[in-house]
Amino acid sequence: MSERVAVDLKVNGTTHRVSVPAMRTLMAVLRDDLGLTGTKNACDQGVCGSCTVLIDGAPARACLALAVALPGIAITTVEGLAQGDTLSPVQQAFLDAGAIQCGFCMPGMIIQATALLAENKRPSEDDIRHSISGNLCRCSGYTKVIEAISLAASRLTP
Amino acid sequence: MTETRFHAPERLEDAISLLSADEDARPLAGGQTLVAMLNADLLSPSQIISLHRIKALQGIERRADGSLRIGAMTTHAVLARSGDLRGAHRLLGEAAGRIGHEAIRNRGTIGGAVAHADPSADYPPVLVALEAVIEAVGPKGKRVIPAAEFFQGFLTTALNLGEIVSAIILPPSPAEACTHYEKFARVEGDFATLSVAVALWGGGVRIALGSVGPVPVRSAEAEAKLFAGQLSDGAIKEASAKLVAASDPIDDVRGSADYRRLLIPRLVKQAIRTAQAKDAR
Amino acid sequence: MNAPGAPIGLSLPRLEAGEKAIGTALYTGDMVLPGMLHGAIVQSPHAHARILGYDTSKALAVPGVRAVITGDDIEFRYMGLVVKDETAIAKGKVRYIGEPVAAVAAIDAETARRAAQLIEIRYQPLPAVTTIEEALHDGAPMLHEDFAKYAKIYDAPVGRGNLLAHSIATQGDPAKGFAMADVVVEETYTIAAQYHAYMEPCAALAAFDPSGKVTVWSSTQSIFRTQANLHECLGLPMTKIRCIAPRVGGGFGGKSEATVEPIAVLLAKKGRAPVRLVLSRNQDMTAMRTRHPGWIRLKTGATKDGRLVARDCELWFDGGAYADDSPAVMNFALYFVRGPYEIPNVHCEGYAVYTNRMRAGAFRGFGNPQMTFATESQMDALAAKLRLDPIELRIKNALPNGARWFGGQAVTESTLVEALETARTRAGWDKPMPPAPPGKRRGRGVAAMAHSSAFLSTGAIVRLQNDGTIAVQVGAVDIGQGSDTALSQMAASAFQLPVEQINLATPDTDSAPYNSGTNASRVTFMVGKAVGEAAFKARDQIIEHAAAMLGVKRDEVSLAPGGRVVVTGGSRHNAEVSFADVAARSIWAVGGPVIGSSAVMASHAMDQGHTKMSGWLSFEAVGIYTFGAQIVEVEIDEVTGAVEVTRAVCVHDVGRAINPCATVGQIEGGFAQGMGYGLCEEMVFEDGRLANPSFMDYKIPSALEVPKTIECVLIEKPEASHPFGARGIGEPPLVGAAAAIANAVADAIGKPLTRLPLTPERVLRALLAQ
């Protein structure tokens, strides 16, 4: 149990005033209070990367952040990447490369890849592997994920 | 059942008074360990005192004497990229870049990691090797504790009730020093099975091991042998024997104690040779 | 069957890929119902204990708690696939650390979790047996005192303590076979427990409707096994149980049987509200299932020219606290005792044992990866002794077309030699590897494998909808492997429609025909077959209607792309009707709605005349056999013993790849999971307690550990018994991976390792022992 605290969370460009228990993680608030269930809980220890979101533009584990400590800070979840019905270039590349299998790790993977490409326009395969090494996937051998990120990079920076 | 309360004071003194008034309160730095422990029901603090708004805990400052003061809330990501780390101090940046994964490094802080004192973590052997000093602030004010005395056991430090780590101070380093942080882990991002922190310069050899005892392992005898033997294979062998003798590893899922002892001479040599090769470049 | 341009063989994006990429895909844990409560479980701290009583008062006093359930809320009703030995939640005793023993439903997850910690359970600890050896000691404590009384579907050992299953099979005359052998090799292989590590932990959402019927959404591989298990353990008639699978985040065998559904239903009933129960990773790792650990003693005799003449095998599997699929997994392992080879004289005995550890159950490969590690390691040991090339030895003994499998089933098409030859060429096997850099050793290894695809039964219903599109109902769950897309492609092909005009219904026991489950590499093969048969029946009805509408004979019309039936030839040449026209006629005027249905069963019989078997499950059918070969290259760090897989060549017979991209995805992923099994994954138990119950401590490969190149080569020889030529490929890529890696490591260090996983520590010790 913990006391409820009101906090203004700025998620995907919209500010939401929520009153949540102080100990509730950002992941739980996104999923249970804001209904943004794209952010997945697969280990709650920060190891698997399924809950990766952008906090102030940098990838972070939503399961290891307390929502009340993030008032007014820009948070981007996987739901915030597409523009209306148009997928983001990274999302589209994941589709085109056939990188999506069960899909459970994908929101975190796509967020991580988005952050990588924001910083490194032409990542090498090695850069990509290092970048997503904290995003576990059990369906793939990561091959198509890496292809997808390369594809997105080449489309973003022809 | 009591409710956990949350505070995010802006003043360091307020954080200290909250923490010193309640032994079940916990300071929150980057949260990468604390929140994981909360999620696993390993802790149920009465209060969480977030340190993220306290300016005094932030920033890296080079002081007149060449020492470096690293605010406790500095993230691993900042350290891994920092241009402020020169000479032997680079060792700290190398270790910072090997902690967990990018998303962890973006939030986790050096103060939090040091205060947690996990013997398999990356900073402790580096801080011991660099003879860093831990600056702590508590109800009785500020004090400094040499890293070798700060780490007292498994998850145990010299911090008293109400004290927090406020900064890490690295003593001045010769610019010509070469370093290597050798980390052997099962997979990238895991805690080390064994880590070796090495700094070498004309007048000195510093070496400390992580994950082979409840606290980092450093041996004056070992360093003396390395120095006297000018880092020859023979000297490394003798020094390694001293380090093995000083170690006290455990069996865990990352490797047996025997395996860790077996690795010590092998990785010490590799770390020294790699550091030298960096120097040559 | 497949018209040009129809979508068989196209790498279409997954139908649901878009929703998964934008984060709107709904998995069980994402679903919310009005008034929904959150569940939390309490787990046993004891490996073995009698439950003396419960005090739930403190938990019930917590504001927001709506229900607490314990063993007192249920009868002694048992569920299970082959032995009915499990209750919905522990009752009377607990048999492993981590076993669910009570549960709470509350208004939010935190409240439920906190309240769960306040439930007090009084136990009388009992002596525990946490290894096979302990379990079989004279006077060892029994896990299941009522074992003899449990319902079973095989001839189980009775009065033999914790022995759960003992199967024997003999083919030919093993004694005579070994007498003929010029060389004999014998070794014991030890295998560890692997965790499925599906990314989505087990989850269920249960809601009762006013009529008393419960609907259960869950992360499952089989809606029908879920329904059957709920029926058995809760005593509800199936008329009152509806099971649905929304999106599922992986399964790999671990979600084949009940997971948390029975507990969610009990909570929903008592809490009088929908209840969602989602396990934490730690709970999933300690309460659910593992791959079977154990050991295999294997002995093989060969003539000096390299003909395998005899084999003897003794296999022991630790089944854990409940039978689950253990007897079946053990039997299935024994089916692969010969590997994909002709060995005329074989004797094998398999044992599965109850121990006070979490259950071992189905896991991708179903016993075959363990056996293949042993058999393929031994092939290399034999090759070394005979001074034969490992691939030559394998080709020499490859099972030919038309030969009988162990157990007596005929193998119609063996592509083993082709797979081995292809892998050899692709990997450059005959050329020496480039020398290793200083401080490293290099090695290369091969493994051949066979696996069955198919098993058990399934059905399909295919309906023409009013607008001319097609609805397909199957009970198969897409757990991430891509079957929804593959099945849609097959249905689309049958009707020459684009896949967008196929409505593949969500798996729902209220509307789908029976399907045993998403396992045994069977969905594309078995369910695809059912979809094909049902689609062709519906298609025939469409053609019949169309001919009548166009006033021509049946054989004067044919299907045209885009949902049309066209007259070919004669005076009405090119006259056509649309599927929508046909639908209108069938619904409003003549004949009734167009519906095709099918029921199929795997149909390859065992033959006691070929292999004499006792104590086996009476599987009359284990499907068709599929072959493959993998070659891997490794680099070993001489300083630490760490093994890096630098390259993998995976050649697999897939029949016809319905969706090549998805097929390759299965192969890459299967190899990576097999690599984890071979190199780093081991659930470490200390006195029955899992020492590494988190992703922090149990490591699966990341993008930095998998090989930079996983080269997948598909052998495509359409399978004659399948309407679209497909074979299953879900499991084969994993089956041989650990064996191929072990052989490559042996090649690198000059010494085979016989224990999985090949941790750096084990490899370094082997290196230093030389």
What pLDDT score was predicted for residue C620?
62
Q: Is B81 exposed, middle or buried (0-12, 13-18, 19+ CB in 10 A)?
A: middle
Closest CA to C194 of C115, C127, C253, C265: C253
B93 φ, ψ (degrees, to nearest 5):
-65, -40
What pLDDT score was predicted for residue A85?
87
Q: Using CB atoms and an 8 Å cut-off, which of residues 645-674 of chain C contact chain A?
A: 661-662, 664-665, 668-669, 671-673
Joined together, the tokens standing for residue B81 give: 């990229």
For residue C116, list chain A residues with Cβ-Cβ distance below 8 A: none
Q: Please count the structural domains in chain A.
A: 2
The yes or no reply on domain C17-24+456-601 and CATH 3.30.365.10 is yes
C-alpha dist (Å) from residue A133 to B98, B100, B188? 12, 10, 7
A25 with B40: Cβ contact below 8 A: no
Write the CB contacts of C457 (distance below 8 Å, at least 6 apart in sequence): C514, C515, C516, C526, C599, C600, C601, C602
A23 with B6: Cβ contact below 8 A: yes
pLDDT(C124) > 50: yes
What pLDDT score was predicted for residue C4?
43
Confidence of residue A1 (pLDDT cuts 50, 70, 90): low
Residue ranges, CATH 3.30.365.10, chain C? 17-24+456-601, 290-455+607-768
- The DSSP result for C241-308, as a single string, is EEEE--B----TTTTSS-SSHHHHHHHHHHHTS-EEEE--HHHHHHHSEEPPPEEEEEEEEE-TTS-E
Confidence of residue C606 (pLDDT cuts 50, 70, 90): confident
For residue B104, list chain A residues with Cβ-Cβ distance below 8 A: 46, 61, 64, 134
For C492-530, how does the pLDDT look when each residue is reduced to its tens digit (9 = 90+)?
999 999 999 999 999 999 999 999 999 888 899 999 999
C-alpha dist (Å) from residue C270 to A139, C97, C207, C242, C508? 37, 26, 11, 18, 24
Joined together, the tokens standing for residue C725 give: 């030529």
Q: Using CB atoms and an 8 Å cut-off, which of residues 261-280 of chain C contact chain B?
A: 280
What ipTM was reported for this prediction? Answer: 0.98
In a domain, A147, yes or no: yes
Confidence of residue C619 (pLDDT cuts 50, 70, 90): low
Q: What is the DSSP letter of B176?
A: T
C71 vs C73: CA distance, rounded Å = 5
What letters, b where the CB count within 10 A reaches 16 and e where it falls short, cover C253-271?
Answer: bbbbbbbbbbbbbbbbbbb
Average pLDDT value for residue range C9-22: 96
**Chains contacting A (3 or more CB pairs within 8 Å):** B, C
Write the CB contacts of C745 (distance below 8 Å, at least 6 apart in sequence): C443, C445, C634, C636, C643, C753, C758, C763
Joined together, the tokens standing for residue C333 give: 């392992």
A135 vs A140: CA distance, rounded Å = 12
For C627-643, how does the pLDDT look when each residue is reduced to its tens digit (9 = 90+)?
999 999 999 999 999 99
> Chain A closest CA to B115's CA: distance in Å?
18
Confidence of residue C254 (pLDDT cuts 50, 70, 90): very high
Angle at B25 between CA B22 and CA B26, to 5 degrees: 145
Q: Chain A residue closest to C706 (CA)?
A: A141
Do both A121 and A150 map to the same domain? yes
For C319-334, how does the pLDDT look when each residue is reduced to its tens digit (9 = 90+)?
999 999 999 999 999 9
What pLDDT score was predicted for residue C607?
84
Q: Kindly state whether A64 is in contact with chain C, defined as any CB-CB distance less than 8 angstroms.
A: no
Confidence of residue C621 (pLDDT cuts 50, 70, 90): low
Confidence of residue B203 (pLDDT cuts 50, 70, 90): confident
The topology (CATH level 3) of C31-126+197-287 is: Aldehyde Oxidoreductase; domain 3 (3.90.1170)
In a domain, A131, yes or no: yes
Do both A27 and A57 map to the same domain? yes
> Chain A closest CA to C281's CA: distance in Å?
5
Q: Kindly state whether C702 is in contact with chain B, defined as any CB-CB distance less than 8 angstroms.
A: yes
Bridge partner residues of A83 (DSSP):
A86
Average pLDDT value for residue range C23-27: 98
Do both A71 and A95 map to the same domain? no
B52 with A66: Cβ contact below 8 A: no
What pLDDT score was predicted for residue C249?
98
Domain's final residue, options A79, A101, A121: A79
The domain in which residue A97 lies consists of: 89-156
Q: Identify the helix (H) or strand (E) that includes residue B97.
A: none
> Chain B closest CA to C287's CA: distance in Å?
15
pLDDT(C372) > 60: yes
For C415-445, how does the pLDDT look when each residue is reduced to its tens digit (9 = 90+)?
999 999 999 999 999 999 999 999 999 999 9
Q: Using CB atoms and an 8 Å cut-off, which of residues 37-66 of chain B contact chain C?
A: 39-41
Q: In this structure, are residues C761 and B255 in contact, taking their beta carbons and an 8 Å threshold?
A: yes
Q: Is B67 exposed, middle or buried (0-12, 13-18, 19+ CB in 10 A)?
A: middle
Q: Is C150 exposed, middle or buried (0-12, 13-18, 19+ CB in 10 A)?
A: middle
C732 vs C366: CA distance, rounded Å = 11
What pLDDT score was predicted for residue C646?
97
Angle at C125 between CA C122 and CA C131, to 5 degrees: 140
Q: Name the residue among B35, B106, B189 with its Cβ closest to that of A25.
A: B35
Q: What is the DSSP letter of C523?
A: I
In a domain, A84, yes or no: no
B2 with A68: Cβ contact below 8 A: no
Q: In this structure, are residues B107 and B75 in contact, taking their beta carbons and an 8 Å threshold?
A: yes
Do both A118 and A72 map to the same domain? no
For C57-72, how does the pLDDT look when each residue is reduced to its tens digit (9 = 90+)?
999 999 999 999 999 9
Which of C759, C762, C763, C765 best tests the B interface by mutation, with the highest count of B CBs <10 A? Answer: C759
Place of tokens 């005593």: C235
Write the CB contacts of C132 (distance below 8 Å, at least 6 apart in sequence): C294, C316, C318, C353, C355
Do both A148 and A103 map to the same domain? yes
Question: Whats the size of chain A, residue-wise?
Answer: 158
In a domain, A33, yes or no: yes
Q: In this structure, are residues C85 and C144 in contact, taking their beta carbons and an 8 Å threshold?
A: yes
Query: In percent, how much of chain C has pLDDT > 70?
Result: 99
- Average model confidence (pLDDT) for chain C? 96
Do both A101 and A126 map to the same domain? yes
Question: Residue A142 maps to which CATH number?
Answer: 1.10.150.120
For residue B266, list chain C residues with Cβ-Cβ distance below 8 A: 639-640
pLDDT(C3) > 50: no
**Chains contacting C (3 or more CB pairs within 8 Å):** A, B
For the beta carbon of residue B203, count every other beta carbon within 10 angstroms: 9
Query: In percent, how much of chain C has pLDDT > 90?
Result: 92
C764 with B262: Cβ contact below 8 A: yes
Q: In this structure, are residues A145 and C61 in contact, taking their beta carbons and an 8 Å threshold?
A: no
For residue A21, list chain C residues with Cβ-Cβ distance below 8 A: 110
Give the β-pairing of C709-715 and C643-653: parallel
For B21-40, how does the pLDDT look when each residue is reduced to its tens digit (9 = 90+)?
999 999 999 999 999 999 99
C702 with B189: Cβ contact below 8 A: yes
The topology (CATH level 3) of C290-455+607-768 is: Aldehyde Oxidoreductase; domain 4 (3.30.365)
End-to-end CA distance of chain B: 61
C-alpha dist (Å) from residue A120 to A107, B68, B104, C477, C604? 20, 30, 19, 39, 56
B107 with A60: Cβ contact below 8 A: yes
Closest CA to C314 of C166, C519, C120, C99: C166
Closest CA to C374 of C300, C296, C294, C292: C296
Domain's final residue, options A14, A45, A79: A79
Do both A72 and A108 map to the same domain? no
Q: Chain C residue closest to A48 (CA)?
A: C695
What does the radius of gyration of chain B's CA atoms come to, in whole angstroms? 19
Joined together, the tokens standing for residue C426 give: 């692709």
What letters, b where the CB count within 10 A reaches 16 and e where it falls short, cover C305-337?
Answer: ebbbbbbbbebbbbbbbbbbbbbbbbbbbbbbb
Q: In this structure, are residues B194 and B211 in contact, taking their beta carbons and an 8 Å threshold?
A: yes
Q: Kindly state whether C479 is in contact with chain A, defined as any CB-CB distance less than 8 angstroms.
A: yes
Average pLDDT value for residue range B122-127: 98
For residue C768, list chain B residues with Cβ-Cβ distance below 8 A: 262
Write the CB contacts of C135 (distance below 8 Å, at least 6 apart in sequence): C129, C143, C161, C162, C353, C354, C355
**Chains contacting B (3 or more CB pairs within 8 Å):** A, C
Write the CB contacts of C114 (distance below 8 Å, at least 6 apart in sequence): A1, B1, C62
If you count residue pairs, one on A and one on C, with CB atoms under 8 Å apart, how many are there?
179
Domains of chain B are 5-49 (3.30.43.10), 58-170 (3.30.465.10), 183-280 (3.30.390.50)
The amino acid sitting at B181 is: Y
SS3 B210: strand
What pLDDT score was predicted for residue B281?
52
Q: Is A83 exposed, middle or buried (0-12, 13-18, 19+ CB in 10 A)?
A: exposed
Residue A84 backbone zone (phi > 0: left; psi -120 to 50: alpha; other: beta): left
Q: Kindly state whether B23 is in contact with chain C, defined as any CB-CB distance less than 8 angstroms.
A: no
Question: Residue A52 maps to which CATH number?
Answer: 3.10.20.30
Give the β-pairing of B204-210 and B194-201: antiparallel
> Chain A closest CA to B10's CA: distance in Å?
13
Confidence of residue C454 (pLDDT cuts 50, 70, 90): confident
Q: Kindly state whether A49 is in contact with chain B, defined as any CB-CB distance less than 8 angstroms.
A: yes
For A55-84, how does the pLDDT look when each residue is reduced to its tens digit (9 = 90+)?
999 999 999 999 999 999 999 999 999 998
Q: Chain B residue closest to C643 (CA)?
A: B186
For residue B39, list chain C residues with Cβ-Cβ distance below 8 A: 280
Do both A45 and A111 map to the same domain? no
SS3 C347: strand
Do both A31 and A66 map to the same domain? yes
Write the CB contacts of A142 (distance below 8 Å, at least 6 apart in sequence): A129, A132, C668, C672, C702, C703, C706
pLDDT(C233) > 80: yes
Which of A66, A112, A129, A137 best tests the B interface by mutation, with the highest count of B CBs <10 A? Answer: A66
Q: In this structure, are residues C154 and C327 in contact, taking their beta carbons and an 8 Å threshold?
A: yes
Please confirm whether the linkage preceding C757 is cis (ω < 30° from 0): yes
For C665-714, how does the pLDDT look when each residue is reduced to its tens digit (9 = 90+)?
999 999 999 999 999 999 999 999 999 999 999 999 999 999 998 999 99
A141 with C708: Cβ contact below 8 A: no
C-alpha dist (Å) from residue A85 to A80, A115, C19, C21, C401? 12, 21, 11, 12, 52
> Chain A closest CA to B104's CA: distance in Å?
6
Helices and strands of chain C, counted as H and E runs: 19, 31
pLDDT(C5) > 80: no
